[in-house]
Amino acid sequence: MSVIDSALVQIKRLHPYSPGKPVEELEREFGISNAIKLASNENPLGCSPMVHEVLAGASEHIELYPDANAFYLKQRLAQKLGIAENQITIGNGSNDVLDLVARSFLDSTGEAIYSQYAFMVYAMVTQACGAQAKVAEAFSPGSAQSYGHDLDAMLALIGDRTRLIFIANPNNPTGTWLESDALKSFIEQVPDHIAIVIDEAYFEYVDMEQYPDSMQWLDRHPNLIVTRTFSKIYGIAGLRIGYSVSSAELCDLFNRVRQPFNGNSLALAAARCALDDVAFVDQSRRSNQQGLQLMQGWFGQRGIDYIPSAGNFLTVRFGDNSTQIYQALLERGVIVRPVANYNMPDFLRISVGSKPQLDKMFAILEDIL
């Protein structure tokens, strides 16, 4: 077997990430206009107006490499979060940071643990490192946290080869979340030599009692890593910027693995500015809460089951007709997200859009159903 054949064996085992269909692609495919995208959990309000102003100035010197250490963004994050700058790792989106963490801890001798229905990137980075995945069964439908992480089941999978545990809170695509006491107890039971990633991509959207800020436990648990992103509530997904917070020692480890210049100049400037527009974040959170209530009410009134969500999306059970409904929505100019690749073929994940977007989707769904 040649070196190319050997590489292909490993690569062909990987399943590429399948993003939501772009609006432009849908409009080309069906010859339509004014399509709406409710597939990728993007902020329907866009981004802060302040960000648009900052980007014009930040683009003046794009012939220069960006600040590889992201000094000013780290400084601003440290001030906002009450942590030290040397605890922050910047990534090309939080997915990049998840990959950094996996490459720092996993190889063919190690194992990673994550929950059934957990964010697909955990499986991808684990497999890309040649490590073994241990998948804990999620809570069953009808339980208090249907489809959510069963922390006891995850603890039971810990073995001699366990190097890394991934937990999304809230989780994508289910929208389920973990309460503070349960998550804290779990972290305290995990041996110190095993790294724990708490993925908080939707942190800023959550308005649930007992939902934790995992960063408060960093001082007591040096094996803890918390990841967040600017792609969701801050509305700058197109610029690809995210970060993790951990101990300074782990941060130093990640920076040895990290690609240089993995945060571009525009993204660094936009992220720093986005942190300052607290009013926009508050507006986005309120808009999301209203949209979630509207969606839950609409589906609930029609007896259509959904998974209660703490994020900016709702995962709805359409049963055996989910594929046909997805296709019918596409043909009418509404993009939602099938989740059959998560072994949830009966469901579609629908991002919380603006009220006009949701009204349009409701009208089309009413006609389809």
pTM for the model stands at: 0.94
Choosing from 226, 243, 277, the residue where a domain stops is 277
Q: What is the CATH number of the domain that holds 19?
A: 3.90.1150.10
Looking at residue 11, its pLDDT comes to 57
Q: Are residues 115 and 201 in the same domain?
A: yes
What tens digit of pLDDT does each residue of 263-291 get? 999 999 999 999 999 999 999 999 999 99
Q: Is the residue at 288 inside a domain?
A: yes
What value does the mean pLDDT take over residues 350-361?
Answer: 97
Q: Are residues 144 and 285 in the same domain?
A: no
Least confident of 20-34, 86-100, 170-184, 198-212: 20-34
Specify the CATH number for the domain of residue 154.
3.40.640.10
Give the confidence band of 26 by pLDDT, cuts at 50, 70, 90. Answer: confident
* Distant-in-sequence, close-in-space partners of 57: CB < 8 Å, separation ≥ 6: 269
Residues 116 and 14 grouped into a single domain: no
Statement to judge: residues 143 and 241 lie in one domain: yes
DSSP state of 222: T
Q: What is the pLDDT of residues 104-145, one digit of tens each?
A: 999 999 999 999 999 999 999 999 999 999 999 999 998 888
- What is the greatest pairwise CA distance in the chain? 60
235 and 350, same domain (yes or no): no
Question: Among the three residues 277, 308, 326, which one is the final residue of a domain in this structure?
Answer: 277
Q: 213-241, pLDDT tens digit by residue?
A: 999 999 999 999 999 999 999 999 999 99
**What is the model's pLDDT at position 145?**
86
One domain, residues 288 and 220: no
Q: What's the total number of domains in the chain? A: 2
From the number of C-beta atoms within 10 Å of its C-beta (0-12, 13-18, 19+), residue 257 rates as middle
Whether residue 169 is contained in a domain is answered as yes
Q: Is residue 105 domain-shared with residue 31, that is, in the same domain?
A: no
Distance CA 356, CA 358 (A): 5
Q: Could you read off the pLDDT of 46-77 as tens digits, one per residue?
A: 999 999 999 988 898 999 999 999 999 999 99
Contact (Cβ atoms closer than 8 angstroms) between residue 70 and residue 203: no
Q: Give the domain extent around 98.
A: 49-277
Q: Do residue 202 and residue 323 come from a single domain?
A: no
- Domain termination site, one of 277, 303, 333: 277
Quick one: pLDDT at residue 144?
80
